[in-house]
Structure 1
Amino acid sequence: MTAELLVAFIAFAFVTSVTPGPNNMMLLTSGVNFGLRRSVPHMLGISLGFMVLVIAVGLGLGELFTQFPPLYAVLRYLGAAYLLYLAWKISGSGAPSSDVTANAKPFTFLQAAAFQWVNPKAWVMAIGAITTYTPHENFLFNVLLIAGLFALVNCPSVAIWTVAGSMLRKWLSNPRILRVFNIGMALLLVASLYPILVDVKGTI
């Protein structure tokens, strides 16, 4: 991998990781409802789970979707359905001191890692990274390099959203304000699906 390609890929990884999407909307909400410390497993699960996804795509899963495009569309629709469920759960979250939230738990490491497999944006990012930025010479090494670098760039990028949420935690301690915030985050999570679903519709 040339230095120019490496710089271009790092820029791609940063932009796609830090911009709004399902993971970041959920981390912002997690930061508000559970704080930074309790959200760390969620952040690590996203980064390492996504790294595994990139490796899987590089090792042939992406080719499977190329050969059978409907499988990709089905996966994205299943992911969208799960995100709608998560949006519904987020919209019903209470204040940090309420019994509902006190009994609730943030995503675990494994839950966050598994979520990447049904996250439509994660698939777009992984396939884009492999098809655009991975040289064919020493392909296996480059796949592992791309996946590792993506995880390194992704973790601090998504952490920004968790920190922002934790900083808003005190201001959103009012149950009514938090309720409005959670509903807003749920709506943004749903809105993040629109371009993905439109893209899928166009490929069917």
Structure 2
Amino acid sequence: MNAELLVAFIAFAFVTSVTPGPNNMMLLASGVNFGIRRSLPHMFGISIGFMILVIAVGMGLGQLFEQVPMLYNVLRFAGAAYLLYLAWKIANASAPEGQNLGTKPFSFIEAAAFQWINPKAWVMAIGAITTYTPHENFELNVLLIAALFALVNCPSVGLWTAAGSLLRKWLNNPMVLRGFNISMALLLAASLYPIFADVQGVL
């Protein structure tokens, strides 16, 4: 990978990681409800889980979806259903000291596993492999792309956790926090618009 392609890829990784999506909406809510320290496993799980997803796509999983498109559709809609469930949990979260939002933040394993049903993560992974991975020494470049994406992704999503943590003191009022969590839930559900729009276009 030459320097020009490397710079372009890092820009791609940063923009796609820091822009709103399911991971960032959940981290913002986690930062508000649990703070930065308790949200760290969630953050690291996202980055490592996504790195493994990129490697899997680069090593052939993307080709499998091309051959059996139904598998990709099943994964997308399973992810959409799970995201709606998470949106419901966030909407019903209580005050930071309360015991809700699943009683605890996402664990490392839960966050890593979630990447496999996160529609935005799949789009990012496929884009990284098809657009920025040179064919010469392909397997090595896949590993490099995946590692770089994880390095860029972790601090990028961490910005959302930090923003949520900073908002904590402004959301001590249970009614205000309730409104915030409902707004985050609606934004998380809205992030599924591309899937529903795609379905409407097919129908």
Both proteins in one fold, TM over 0.5: yes
TM-score for the superposition, normalised by structure 2: 0.96
Deviation readout 1:52-91 (Å, 9 max, x if unpaired): 0000000000000111112111111110000000000100
Amino acid at match of 2:187: L
Q: Which residues of structure 2 form unaligned runs of 5+? A: none
SS at match of 2:134: coil
Q: Distance in 1 between matches of 2:102 and 2:57?
A: 37
- Is it true that 1:81 corresponds to 2:81 in the alignment? yes
Q: Which runs of 5+ in 1 are unaligned?
A: none
Separation in 2, partners of 1:18, 1:55:
21
1:64 and 1:53 map into 2 onto residues whose CA distance is 14
8 Å contact from structure 1 (residues 91, 182) kept in 2: yes
Decide whether aligned partners of structure 1 residues 6 and 102 sit closer, same or farther in structure 2, where only a CA change above 3 A counts.
closer
> Does residue 95 in structure 1 map to residue 95 in structure 2?
yes
Name the structure 1 match of 2:175: 176
CA distance in structure 2 between the aligned counterparts of 1:13 and 1:53, rounded to whole angstroms? 14
Q: What's the counterpart of residue 31 of structure 1?
A: 31
8 Å contact kept, 2:92–2:101: no
Question: Do the aligned residues in 1 keep the contact of 2:90 with 2:101 (CA within 8 Å)?
Answer: no
> How many residue pairs were aligned?
203
Q: State the alpha-carbon separation in 1 of the partners of residues 173 and 97 from structure 2.
A: 10
**Displacement, 1:2?**
1.5
The answer to whether the Cα contact below 8 Å between 1:134 and 1:146 also exists between their aligned partners in 2 is yes
Question: How far did 1:104 drift?
Answer: 1.1
- 1:120-156 per-residue CA deviation (whole Å, 9 max, x = no partner) reads 1000100110011111110000000000000000000
- Output the CA distance in 2 between the equivalents of 1:153 and 1:28: 18
Contact 2:28 2:164 in 1 (8 A): yes
CA contact (8 A) 1:33 1:101 kept: no
Shift of residue 101, structure 1, vs aligned partner: 3.5
- Compute the TM-score of the two structures, normalised by the length of structure 1: 0.96
Against the structure 1 CA distance between its residues 134 and 105, is the aligned structure 2 distance closer, same or farther, given a 3 Å change threshold? same
Query: In structure 2, do the counterparts of structure 1 residues 202 and 68 end up closer, same or farther at CA, with 3 Å as the change threshold?
Result: farther
Identity %: 76
Q: RMSD of aligned C-alpha atoms?
A: 1.5
Find the aligned partners of 1:120 and 1:66 in 2 and give their Cα distance. 16
